[in-house]
Amino acid sequence: MPLTLPKIRENCAKARVRMDDARREHWAFGAFNLDDEPTLIAVAKAAQKHNAPVLVEVSHGEVNDIGLDNIRDLVDNTKATYGIEMYVNLDHSPSVEAAKAGIEAGFEFIHIDISQADHNASDEQIIAATKEVVEYAKLTGASVESEPHYFGGSSNLHTETIDYDEIKKTFSTPDAARAFVESTGIDTFAAAIGNLHGKYSVPKVLDLELLKRIRESIECNISLHGGSGTPGHYFKDAVKIGVSKININSDMRIAYRLALEKSLKENPDEYSVAKLITKDVVGSVQGVVESKIADFNSSGKARP
Question: What distance in Å separates the CA atoms of residue 239 and residue 241, rounded to the nearest whole number?
Answer: 5
From CA 123, how far away is CA 120, in angstroms rounded? 9
Of the listed 91, 113, 207, 295, which one is catalytic? 91
Look up 187 and say whether it is catalytic: no
| Distance (Å, whole) CA 277 – CA 209 | 42
Q: Helix (H, G, I), strand (E, B), or coil: what is residue 199?
A: strand
Q: Under a CB-based contact definition with an 8 Å cutoff, are residues 192 and 152 in contact?
A: no
Within 34-116, strands assigned E span: 54-58, 86-93, 109-112
Overall size of the chain counted in residues: 304
Contact between residue 222 and residue 239 where contact means Cβ atoms under 8 Å apart: no
Give the dihedral of Cα atoms 45, 145, 61, 225; nearest 10 deg.
-70
Closest CA to 251 of 23, 46, 5, 2: 46
Q: For residue 149, give every residue at least 6 positions away whose Cβ sits within 8 Å of its Cβ, in sequence order, or none.
A: 115, 126, 170
Residues designated as active site: 91
